[in-house]
Amino acid sequence: MKSKFLKYWKNIPMLYAFAFFLDPRCKMKGFTNALQFLSQLTHIDYSTYLIEVHAELTNTFSKYESKFGEVRLQGPPPIASSGKKKNKGLGRNFWFS
């Protein structure tokens, strides 16, 4: 059983790490806690992996910033309100308009 667990969690894919700490519920602190928990279970040191993930995320963000950092999109101007209450649900007005 332990060998099957280690098969998937000994070398954690970088994508799993990105997905984990880009989740607003977890962030970097939650990822660190999860790695500490896995380290206790598997007796594998994940401290270098945490540094690698942080460096890769920083690298990815800097690439994104260099490509899209200067772009400032302007949204459409706000529509003037007619004073009527708008239905914001996915009810009849949404499907039949």
**Could you report the per-residue pLDDT of 13-57, keeping only the tens digit for each?**
999 999 987 888 888 888 889 899 989 988 899 999 999 999 999
Residue 63 has pLDDT above 90, yes or no: yes
In-domain check, residue 13? no
Residues of 28-61 as b/e, b for ≥16 C-beta within 10 angstroms?
Answer: eeebbebbeebeeeeeeebeebbeebeeebeeee
Q: Is 40 in a helix, a strand, or coil?
A: helix
pTM over 0.85: no
In-domain check, residue 37? yes
Q: Dihedral of CA 81/87/89/92: which sign?
A: negative
In-domain check, residue 82? no
| For the chain, percent of residues with pLDDT exceeding 90 | 24
Q: Dihedral of CA 31/32/38/44: which sign?
A: positive
Residue 88 has pLDDT above 60, yes or no: no
Q: Give the range of the structural domain holding residue 30, as residue numbers without chain letter.
A: 21-55
In-domain check, residue 31? yes
In-domain check, residue 10? no
Exposed (0-12), middle (13-18) or buried (19+): which is 17, by Cβ within 10 Å? buried
Spatial separation of the C-alpha atoms in residues 56 and 69, rounded to whole Å: 18
Indicate the number of domains in the chain: 1
In-domain check, residue 27? yes
Mean residue pLDDT across the chain? 80
